[in-house]
Amino acid sequence: SSSDSSSSTNKDPGQITRLHTNRGVIDCSVVNDKDQNKAGTVTPIPVVVAAGAWVPHILSLMDWYAPVYPLKGYSMSVSAEEALESSAGGSTKLSEQDLPSRIVADKYMYTTRLGKDEIRITSIGEFSGWSTHPTALVDKEFRREAVRQFPQLETLIDKAVTRCGHRPLVNDGILLLGRVSDTSNVYVSCGPGSNGWKLAMGSGDAVARLIEGQSFQQIQQEMGANVQTFDPSGRVMHAPWFAKLCRARWDI
């Protein structure tokens, strides 16, 4: 869950009690009336902060700092069908053998065939804040490298639209996965960098098990992974003054 403006936290014990969002206030606590032994007690609802590169923004609203940085990636898509059709009347006619059919990777970029028609070209890791607009100089270099690798697609590369997205990169390269220390109901799942699709299902399973109350040892026995390695304790820090500076710097 994410907060659009602010959240309310009880200090002892630390817990999220409600989220203020652009769709109204979400109550994050329930009164337990079913159990006679615990009648009237308030049970906090688990809140999982899994907003990718925007995790630092959300946690800063709670006076927490997370060392997650937006690594901006560049991509463009070229139509294989259009490439074949446009070359039909030219001096150099392309065939399927002239187009990438599987992953092509070198030092500068990755290219893959998605389905029958789309050729996806990706590259670059840029630190330039949270803007998803391409930087002109970087985009120019991106296109130059794409043409170097696929000169037969130069015309289509020149007119392709560059799209940017953020890879959430933790400063030490290790996932942030688990309960935020000194809170009872705040969990974080973030930081796979460019491996988000590879790790998403396992990360979701692990954080669900933690919320259910399983110990690190139980999870390791059942999943075969040492999830404690990803514990955010000592990395996600309660830092009110620094969080305030970050909010001012990020204009949130």
Q: pLDDT higher for 108 or 64?
A: 64
pTM of this structure? 0.79
Q: Name the pLDDT band for 233 (thresholds 50, 70, 90).
A: very high
Q: By mean pLDDT, which of 93-107, 130-144, 204-218 is the weakest?
A: 93-107
Give the mean pLDDT of 153-165. Answer: 94
Average pLDDT, the chain: 85
Q: Which of 251, 70, 101, 243 is nearest to 170 (CA)?
A: 70
> What's the confidence (pLDDT) of residue 3?
40
Q: What was the pLDDT predicted at 99?
A: 87
For residues 252 and 236, give the distance between their C-alpha atoms in angstroms, rounded to a whole number.
19
Question: Scanning the structure block, which residue is given the tokens 């399973």?
Answer: 205
Show the tokens assigned to 153: 């697609």
- C-alpha span between 47 and 203 (Å, rounded): 15
Q: Between 190 and 182, whose confidence is greater?
A: 190
Burial class (CB in 10 A: 0-12, 13-18, 19+), 242: middle
Query: Looking at this protein, which amino acid is placed at residue 17?
Result: T
Q: What would the 3-class secondary structure string for 157-221 be?
A: HHHCCCEEEEEEEECCCCCEEEECCCECCEEEEECEHHHHHHHHHHHHHHHHHHHCCCCHHHHHH
Mean pLDDT of 44-59: 91
Q: What is the pLDDT of residue 228?
A: 93
Nearest to 235 by CA among 90, 28, 69: 69
pLDDT at 243 over 80: yes
CA–CA distance, 103 with 107 (Å, rounded to integer) = 13
Q: Cα(121)–Cα(105) distance, rounded to whole angstroms?
A: 10
